[in-house]
Structure formats: C-alpha cells, structure tokens
Amino acid sequence: MAEVAHAPEPQAEAPAAMTVSDEVAIDISGMNKWYGEFHVLKNIDLTINKGERIVVCGPSGSGKSTLIRCVNALEKFQKGSITVDGIPLTSDIKKIDEIRRDVGMVFQHFNLFPHLTILENCTLAPIWVKKMPKKEAEEVAMKYLTRVKIPEQAAKYPGQLSGGQQQRVAIARALCMNPNVMLFDEPTTALDPEMIKEVLDVMVDLAQTGMTMICVTHEMGFARQVANRVVFMDQGQIVEQNAPEPFFTNPQHERTKLFLSQILAH
Amino acid sequence: MAATNAHNVAFVADTQYPDAPPPASEVGVLGWLKENLFSSWGNAALTVLSIAFLAYILPGFIDWAVMKSVWNASSLAECREIIAARHGEGATGACWAVVNERFNQLMYGFYPDELRWRPNIAFLLLVAALAPVLFQTMRPLAYAMAGLLGLQIIAFAYKTYTGAEYAIINPTLIATIAIGVAALVFQHQRGKWFYLTFAYPVIAYFILWGGVFLEPVETSKFGGFLLTMVIGVTGIAASLPIGILLALGRASNLPILKIICTTFIEFIRGVPLITLLFVASTLLNYFMPPGTNFDIVARVLIMVTLFASAYMAEVIRGGLAALPKGQYEAADTLGLTYWQGMRLIILPQALKISIPGIVNTFIGLFKDTTLVVVIGLLDPLGLTNPIRSDSAWNGIIWELYGFIALMFFIFCWGMSRYSQHLEVRLRAGDRR
Ligand SMILES: Nc1ncnc2c1ncn2[C@@H]1O[C@H](COP(=O)(O)OP(=O)(O)O)[C@@H](O)[C@H]1O
Ligand SMILES: [Mg+2]
C-alpha cells in the first residue's frame, strides 16, 4: 500500500465543511458516447451532490477521461443528458460557456500557457471572461497562488517550474475563476514521485473547503482520505460505486477485485 | 601529500583549488580561430580554400568597382573615355554614372519631379509606423532618422560639390528631423505610436495618390523602388491578417468555411503569380461594367496580396498544428470564447513558431514584385529596358543590375536579420 504514504494520515473526523449538501451539482443520466463506431461510454448514470468528492478509477482506456471531459463539453455525447448546476448541457454555445465558467479542470499534463507568466496564467480568464479589473484579478490570483504555496513564483514562466509546481499553478488558475465544481484528470500521473504529495496536499486542502470534486486518480490513499464515493469504471461502464471503506475492504464485482489487487500489489 | 595518490586511496579534500584562467589557446582571437576556422583538417582546408578564393576574386573586383570606377558622366562612351584617360587604354572600370544619372528614375519612376518629397515622406512615415511593431522603445527610430539625415547631408554636399542645384531646406529634411525629435521625446510611449501604424495605410494612400488638397498623381506615373515598396509593403501588411483568417478558417470545425478556405488556398497556390497578374491586367476588364477604370496598381495589389495570403495561411496552419491540443482545451475550459482563445493563447504561440516561414514568405513576396514587368509596370527591373535602350547607356549591364540587386539584398537581408533577432528575443521570455 505504497500510495497511502503520499497523503497525510486520515483524520479521525471529517471537517465540518466536508459535509455533503442534498442539492444536485451534476446529474448524468443515460449518457452514451461513441467515437465513430466505438461505444466508449455506455449508459452512464451518476448524480453528484454539492460538496461531494468523487474518485473515479479503472483500467486505462475504460473511459474515465472521456466521462469527465463530457461534463465540461470538451467532448460531445450522443445520447442521454448531463445537467451541471441546473444548466442542461446542449450544443448551445452560450450554455456551454456558462457551464465552463462554473467548472474548473486540471489536466494530466498541466496545460499551462508557456508564453505567459504564472501570474498572467492565473489572471487571464478572470480578466477576459469575468471582465474583472486587472488589479483585482491579480489580488485574487495571489490569494490562490498563496493557497497552493507558490506565491513567490508569480513572475516566472511555466517552463522554469518543476512539474509539481506547474500542477499547483494549474489548480490555482482554475480556482481563480471561482468554480463550483473541479474536475481532475489524473493530476499526479505525469509527476515524479517526490512531487505527488505536494499536489495531493493541495487537493486535500481544497476538498476540506467543501469544493465539489471529481477526480480521476489511482492514488488510493487520497481516495480513502477525502472521497465520499469511489466510482469504478471498466469498458465504458460504471461497474461499481461505493463509499471508500467498503469499496476497498469489500469489493463486490470480480473486475473490481482484480483491478484493486493489481494496483495495490506493488 | 593530498592529491598525489588520490586516485586509489580513501580521500578527503583538504585544499580548495583557486579558479584559474583557461589555457591561452582556448580564449581570445586564437581560441576563436581554432574553434571556428581550424577545428578539424577538413575545416582547415575549407578555410584555406575560401581565403584563396577571396584573394583571387576581391582585388580584381575592388579595382573594377572602386579604384577605376566613374561616378560622373553622361553616357557609357564618356565613361570609357574617362577610364582610358585616367588608367590607360584597355583598362576597365565600373560606370556607376548610370546609377547616378538615373537615380531618381530608379527610385520614383515617373513620379513628377516637384512632388518627389511626397514618396520621401511616405517612406519616412513608413519607418516611423514600423518602429513600434519592430522595437520595444522608439530609440531605434531616432537612430534611423539620424542616419537618414546624415545621408541627406552627404547628398547635399556631393551635389553642391559637383555644382548641381540642391535646396538643403526641403520637406523631406524637415520631416526627417521632426520624426527624429518626436522619436526622442516620446521614446517610451510606444503604445501611442501604434496609432500611426494603424493610420498609416490611409495616410500613405493620401500622400502618394493625392487628393483633397494634395495634387492627385496617376499610378501610371508610379515606378522604380517606389512601386516595389508600394506593392511589397501592402502585400506584406495585408497578407498576414488575411493569411491568419484563412488558416483559422481551414482549421475550423465549420464544414462550409473550411471548404471555402481550403479551396481558395489550394487554387491560389496552384496558379503562378504571373497568371494572376495577367488576369489583373486584362481579364478583369471583361468582368467589370464597361467604362469603369479600376486602377491597375490597385488590381496588382489585390492579386499580390491574395497570392501571398495563401502561402501565409499554410505557414500559419503549420504553426497552429504544432501547438499541443492541451493548449486549445485549457483555453476552452477557462471559458474563453473562440476569438479570445485564438488571440490570447493560440496565435501568439503559433505565430512565434511560424516566424521563419512568415519572413520567408515576406521575402519571397518582396522579390516577386519584380514580376509586374510582364504587365508593363515599370519597377526597377522594368526600368532597365528603357535605360539600356537609351543610346547614351546602350551596352551597360553589370552596374545597373548590380545596383538593383544590392537594393533588394539590403531589404531582404534586413528582414532576415530582424526575424533572427526577434526569435532570440521571444525565446528569452519563454523557456519551456
Ligand atoms: N479522440 C478519440 N477518438 C477515438 N477513440 C478515442 C479518442 N479518445 C479516446 N478514445 C478511446 O476511448 C477509450 C477511452 O479513452 P479514455 O477516456 O481516455 O480512457 P481512460 O482515461 O480511462 O484511460 C480508449 O479506448 C481510447 O482509445
Ligand atoms: Mg485518461
């Protein structure tokens, strides 16, 4: 169980902010997606309440990335429906922009803008999308850069930062838009081992503020500590979902058992 | 006893060696020679060969182009007489007198004598309009104006020396000084200078073509390097934005737009520029209502711009394709609109990648302006024919073409050097 070491010790009791509201943040029902003939997502039903932290795991190619990319319309789906904060996701570009302003996303490869400084990376969207005055945007950016513990790097360019620092900037950049939901697509997979913890710490911290989060990750220590539900996907389907404790100690489906034995073996 | 047997025993350093200078053969002139000219036997052989070649070619060339050259004469025959008188029968020297005598024609074509200050000022304003695009402060513009002022003073001194009439106080001189002073005074207000850049096309059109209170000049009078500059600068300035739009259209998800842009690009690239120029000069008349008189230079400008835009679009498409998909996705997820994403994220990076290709297209376009001779416009190359068929200069070849080649070389090489400078500057700000 090497992964557990990355995350801080599980707290005895979840902080007050980590309670889940009964308002629905994201509702996915009967969603299907095809890449040409290839049926990548099959009848996905998933409802996520405000304040929930969902960890999505599953073998490579099972459709995890595709699923969360559908939530902010980076990918189109062909059947079913997705509703984010009450806004139904259609091909209407206005609705899509509205949802994207509300949903932050963090990628496996950071995707920072290399031609802009760290501060500019963070202020760009608030200034242009939210029409925030530059000065205010910079204050907000510094607040979040401080929260991810790299305010001193603000004037540098992404290429001058380590992978872990870049990923923390990417999180700060998304937070600057003050989103209600955060999506993480394998945020630590591209990092060197010694940098995984600094990013997970930031994510744990974020979870404790009550942010609604969907994380695709194989960091099981993180899942145990902050997730209130773990979703296991295989071959485009949700195969099993459960609270972390029963999910890890008592998996039901054969494929879940196989998957867990593989990732926990080393 | 510290370092002597450090190779094979357990060892802890007890001294700190001071920094020593590198061996003399590695630094300074010697080091440079060794590294650049004699780094290997092959390299050394090449160096020796090159020096031998220069030694063989240069003395003769300098003798012809400088030592035995003639600057003042009214015909080739007179040139030859002067050379024979000075250096003896059979001596050969360059007859630069042809450039001297026809200088104004090579520069302005048949633009009226008394109005030539207008192209001059248009050129000075062009330099001023380019400065904020090319540089971070306006200081280089002040230097450029100082240089141009120097040239005018030299010209004045030379004319006075040879006894020609030349008014030192003229509109060109005043404009040079005014722009130079403005550049010094407002050198840090680079943003304000962009107003001039954006207004320049209108200003230049007004100055060159005339109208309102300036006497109109027909474009049939445009010629020489004035014509080259008009076509080259318009083509360069217009082909970049049009090329960007075409490239974005070709990369777009909208099928109709994509088909239109792709068809346009492929069609224009598939046709020689000469064909387009012929279309501009003859065929276009058939499609226009009889009696309309659409300026021939304007038609050429449109064709040259369309031609360069198609190439530009492909260069920029290469830059767009070279960007990782994640950049587009990051822009999308932050909620930027398509145009915001393009302007703030995608194009700055894609254009930077494309600089070598863009400048290559600019240089190609600048040289392609000489093709307008085929439809009877008198650019510098077009002017060589009337000059060479003039009985006074019949038989002159090297001096005339050499001068034109030199002028083109200065502009093209300048663009190339600037693009290299720009690449270095942009790289400094962005280390991946
Ligand atoms: N743009 C695409 N076109 C076709 N197939 C794709 C595309 N993107 C992903 N796929 C396929 O869809 C499946 C799911 O991919 P993905 O969601 O990235 O899986 P995961 O993130 O779980 O590893 C994979 O089999 C992958 O090959
Ligand atoms: Mg994935």
**Cα separation of B53 and B51, whole Å?**
5
pLDDT, chain A, mean? 89
Of A100, A125, A157, Cβ closest to residue B430:
A157
Given a cut of 80, whether residue A20 has pLDDT beyond it is no
- Contact residues, chain B, for A95 at CB < 8 Å: none
**Cα separation of A30 and A81, whole Å?**
7
Of A159, A160, A177, Cβ closest to residue B334:
A177
Q: How far is the CA of A60 from the centre of ligand 2 (A)?
A: 7
In which residue ranges of chain B is CATH 1.10.3720.10 found?
77-111+221-426
* pLDDT of amino acid A11: 46
Say yes or no: CB of residue A40 within 6 Å of ligand 1.
Answer: yes
Given a cut of 60, whether residue A83 has pLDDT beyond it is yes
* pLDDT of amino acid A5: 45
Query: CA of A106, closest CA in chain B: separation in Å?
Result: 9
Crossing angle of the two packed helices A134-147 and A163-175, in degrees rounded to 10: 130
Q: What is the ipTM of this complex?
A: 0.90
Report the DSSP pairing between strands A79-84 and A87-88: antiparallel
Least confident interval from A154-163, A227-236, B58-67, B242-251: B58-67
Given a cut of 60, whether residue A8 has pLDDT beyond it is no
Residues of chain B with pLDDT under 50: 1-2, 432
Given a cut of 60, whether residue A6 has pLDDT beyond it is no
**Cα separation of B316 and B313, whole Å?**
5
* pLDDT of amino acid B299: 87
Query: CA of B415, closest CA in chain A: separation in Å?
Result: 24
Taking residues A35-59, what's their average pLDDT?
94
Taking residues A1-25, what's their average pLDDT?
58
Asked: is B77-111+221-426 a CATH 3.30.300.30 domain? The reply is no
Interface contact B432-A114, CB threshold 8 A: yes
User: Which contiguous run of DSSP H or E holds residue A257?
Assistant: helix A254-265
Residue located nearest, by CA, to atom 16 of ligand 1: A63
* pLDDT of amino acid B431: 52
Given a cut of 50, whether residue A9 has pLDDT beyond it is no
* pLDDT of amino acid A4: 42
Of B158 and A241, which is predicted with more confidence? A241
Closest CA to B99 of B411, B406, B408, B400: B400
Residue located nearest, by CA, to atom 27 of ligand 1: A61
Report the DSSP pairing between strands A229-234 and A212-216: unpaired
Residue located nearest, by CA, to atom 17 of ligand 1: A63
* pLDDT of amino acid A21: 80
Nearest CA in chain A to B346: A113
* pLDDT of amino acid A15: 53
The residue assigned the tokens 């001779």 is B373
Query: CA of B430, closest CA in chain A: separation in Å?
Result: 6
Q: How far is the CA of A185 from the centre of ligand 2 (A)?
A: 7
- Contact residues, chain B, for A103 at CB < 8 Å: 333
Strand partners, A35: A38
Query: CA of A20, closest CA in chain B: separation in Å?
Result: 25
Q: Testing the interface with A: which of B254, B325, B334 to mutate, by most A Cβ within 10 A?
A: B334
* pLDDT of amino acid A235: 93
Of A105, A128, A174, Cβ closest to residue B344:
A128
Residue located nearest, by CA, to atom 8 of ligand 1: A66
* pLDDT of amino acid A118: 95
